[in-house]
Amino acid sequence: MKIVQSEALFKHNGEDVFLFTLRNNAGVEVCISNLGAIIQSYKVPNRTGNLLDIVLGFDTMEHYLSSEYLNNKSYLGAIVGRYANRVGQSSMVIDGKIYQLSPNIPPHQIHGGFEGFDTKVWHVENSDQLSAGKLRMSCLSKDAEEGYPGNLEVSICFSLNDENELIIDTEAITDQATAINLTHHDYFNLNGSGRIDDHWVQIPSRFYLGQYPDNLANGKTLSVYGTKYDFTSLRQINKDWDPDSGYDQSFVLDKDYGAYGMAASAYSEKSGIKLEVFTDEPTVHFYTGIHLGNTNARNGQFYEPFSGFCFETQHHCNAINIPEFPSTLLRPGQVYRHKTSYCVSIQ
């Protein structure tokens, strides 16, 4: 598979922004930018052979930097970090020292702060080797950025194979002890447009993470059985949900810590498209987009609440402040690794 690089689209912070197109022999096409490592487009043939774009996004990359979009905090298709989801009270303690982070949703921080990884222009590491079918890019998060200690070097690699599997491999190293919890924040709609509450979803998880009313993880691990969070068997999103809020919840996956396995699946009866998500992370955060409100989106669409859903593979939310959760601390000499893949098929 060959990857096609666009001409430079524009400059952001003095760096060129590009789009890269990955296409396999089955007709799947994924467009990825070095701005925020954003998956801008993900086109898949439906059961009649027509291409549907199954991720939410904008027609132009410039729109991802508009003040209206950034103020909405949607993170459409981007990598988020240094820390996915909420860090309680925008603070953490590492080796006895308190670090105050930037509170972009006061009093907490979400998805890395005011200027996280989603707005960085990533450096493409292998532009002369795109014919090998892998797109690798990197960025440096400097010491004290958004309050985090240490210079953190992050790399992300995308590849698409002929089994319709988009693989995302992420690595990071640091020169000081720091907290890290990355995820890719793609919103899916397997119908291509409209609402997603009629999609069928399955999540292999017997336990979900308890939350305070403001969605901050509180350290409790609760059974899904007998609750609206029981997705251990396939069920429609809207079966038992609260139609005013949907889902914004983390699930602990039924697999060994660090093992690579199923995180979630979704299916649309309308399009026939099935999405399967695999990861080596211990949790998946299921979000149905209650806070969406994006105008002038792809093809002039308005992304209202429940226009897309996310399966955010990551470590336990707020784990840096909850000792009982698996550690999200990275020290010098260690390598952070995270692998997630999306696999599409027709049913």
Reduced to 3 states, what is the DSSP secondary structure of residue 146? helix
Task: Establish whether 165 is a catalytic residue.
Answer: no
Distance of alpha carbon 132 from alpha carbon 125, whole angstroms: 13
**Catalytic: which of 185, 199, 285, 338?**
185
Distance of alpha carbon 257 from alpha carbon 236, whole angstroms: 28
Distance of alpha carbon 98 from alpha carbon 209, whole angstroms: 25
Task: Establish whether 315 is a catalytic residue.
Answer: no
**Catalytic: which of 312, 315, 316, 338?**
312
The answer to whether 43 and 28 are in contact (CB under 8 A) is: yes
Closest CA to 321 of 92, 86, 83: 92
Domain ranges of the chain: 3-346
CATH class name, domain 3-346: mainly beta
Instruction: Spell out the per-residue pLDDT of the chain, length 347, in tens.
Output: 779 999 999 999 999 999 999 999 999 999 999 999 999 999 999 999 999 999 999 999 999 999 999 999 999 999 999 999 999 999 999 999 999 999 999 999 999 999 999 999 999 997 777 878 899 999 999 999 999 999 999 999 999 999 999 999 999 999 999 999 999 999 999 999 999 999 999 999 999 999 999 999 999 999 999 999 999 999 999 999 999 999 999 999 999 999 999 999 999 999 999 999 999 999 999 999 999 999 999 999 999 999 999 999 999 999 999 999 999 999 999 999 999 999 999 98
> Would strands 3-5 and 19-23 be described as parallel, antiparallel, or unpaired?
antiparallel
